[in-house]
Amino acid sequence: MGSDAAAILAGLDPEQREIAESLRGPVVVLAGAGTGKTRAITHRIAHGVLSGVYAPERVLALTFTRKAAGELQGRLRALGAEGVRAQTFHGAALAQLNHFWPQLVGGEAPKMLPGKVSALSQVVEGLGLRLSGEALRDTASEIEWRKTSMLGIDAYAARVDSRPLPLGLSAEQLVEVHRGYAALLEERRQIDFEDVLVLLTGMLESEPRAALQVRERYRFFTVDEFQDVSPLQHALLRVWLGGRDDVCVVGDASQTIYSFAGASSSYLLRFGAEYPHARQIRLERNYRSVEPVVRLANRLMRDRPGALTLHATREGAVPEDLAPSFQWFAREQDEAEAVAGSVAAAMLAGTPASEIAILYRTNAQSARFEEALTRRGIGTRVHGAQRFFERADVRKAVMLIRGEAKVADSRPLFQIVSDALRASGWTAKAPEGPAERERWEALGALLSLVDEMPPGTGIREFSEELLARQRSQHEPTLEAVTLSAIHAAKGLEWSLVHVVGLSEGILPIAHADDEESIEEERRLCYVAFTRARDVLRLSGVEGGARSPRRPSRFVSEAGLLP
């Protein structure tokens, strides 16, 4: 083993090292929250490349969001694994579809539909129906579920009675909308997001030459968040592998929170049955959270199928006033004011705004917390809103920095970047107004990236790093309190986390009316709890006299209520 390859293994715990050294054959990693699974799989790939087992261009690392793919790509670059591709399932599939379509079908591949809702609105109108925007979005989600579950319309029609119906549609009308949507796409010669996977899977199954080219290109596969794969994604992965078994999958059944979109943890839990000689490695050492948070999470998932038992590794007792707690409020506004006061006190005690998050079940809950924080002069960032690199002010600043990279310049990198930002209107002193403050923080985040670069980095290398981050949506950290739906917070972590709205009918949500959907809500709550590193605060609201609520069952099951 070369010195670089050996150095890659340094600092890994025994289980992480076992993963990094298991370079061939099927490997399944059952990785609990905060156990360093991304570190383990990136070091595994880098170890394979640096030891000569993997040719980097033959490795494909797959995940579910462009942001996660960008972070994987960045970590692999830093570890010396240049040339390895980290992509989403859809990104990899779209590139292959566009490559093979002219050869096998002729002409350009069909254009991607920008979004389903406007097309569905046209279909619904053509059927003489009227639906609200929410019902149209629910119908779009149902089409996505059908396709990711690999059901044709006739097969779906046989099961539609067991599916949730969008408001205003009967089962028969819903099937007709599916048929009308399919006909409209065919008429327009367009495809949607799910069709990319459907078409590529069919193409590779029916065209051996194309399948051979893909299998020649990619020999070693890593799939992150494997608990979230759908039947369609699993089918495409099997086609990519083509009977080979050099695949490493990583996941946590307790973090399966996309069942409504077709995800199934069964592929993770049954991986050993699919590959009987697979090596299974469990990551249960939690490096993220203090012991009381870990204990709370374990209680919530005790005896659930596939649940791991986390073991806290952080030492030191947690003061009683910082232990996880639950507060119950009479009104929503009372909860918002109390949470904002807690955030303000934490910031006064030295916790950076970027290390604080408020997590909720639905996006509609965010406004009152944003308002309460804004009244205290605390900046907020709604996670999942406008992407950082799509902001007009950020785009302008990146353009100026890239312009600076085209000329020789002996000034230090920090000065070059700060001068470019000043030309975009940035100042060293923070402005007063919330909108100006948000813009100032966004431009300042670009400057903070200079500190993350290796010593000696020049403006050209920094410019290329910005371009790579822009392409992959790998965003810098903004100094603002994060407001986020729990679904969007998966994979993230903060020092202080407030999980709000822990009331029956909110979390678990009102329409979770059977055991399966309640378990999905439980896993969502588990994801929320395990985002906290140091302090976890929980709260709920009784609501009005006409529809009073009780505290969420998950609070008592976690041990915070008698």
Residues making up the annotated binding site for ATP are: 31-38
d(CA 114, CA 116): 7
Task: Using CB atoms within 10 Å of the CB of residue 216, give its burial: 0 to 12 exposed, 13 to 18 middle, 19+ buried.
Answer: exposed
Q: How far apart are CA 533 and CA 541, in angstroms?
A: 25
Per the CB < 8 A criterion, the answer to whether 74 and 105 are in contact is no
Q: Count Cα neighbours of 192 within 13 Å in the Cβ-side half-sphere.
A: 21
312 DSSP β-pair partners: 286
User: How far is Cα 74 from Cα 71, in angstroms, rounded to an integer?
Assistant: 5
Q: Which residues of 473-501 are buried (b: 16+ CB within 10 A; e: fewer)?
A: bbbbbbbbbbbbbbbbbbbebbebbbbbb
Contact status, residue 480 vs residue 430, Cβ threshold 8 Å:
no
Determine if the peptide bond prior to 508 is cis (ω within 30°). Answer: yes
Altogether, the residues listed in the chain come to a count of 562
DSSP-assigned states of every residue in 86-107? EEEHHHHHHHHHHHHHHHHT-S
Rounded to whole angstroms, the Cα distance separating 459 from 453 reads: 11
Residues 6+ apart with CB under 8 A from 493: 34, 288, 531, 532, 533
Element spanning 223, H or E: strand 220-223
Mapped onto helix, strand or coil, the DSSP state of residue 234 is: helix
Distance CA(225)–CA(521), nearest Å, equals 18
For every residue of 185-208, DSSP letters joined together read HHHHTEE-HHHHHHHHHHHHHH-H
Token pair for residue 60?
């494909």
Torsion of CA 69, 74, 80, 85, to 10 degrees: 30
Alpha helices in 456-545 (DSSP H): 459-472, 486-489, 515-529
Contacts of 174 (CB under 8 A, 6+ apart): 139, 142, 160, 163, 165, 166
Residues placed in the known binding site? 31-38
Three-state secondary structure call for residue 134: helix
CA distance 446 to 402: 13
Place of tokens 């965003």: 475
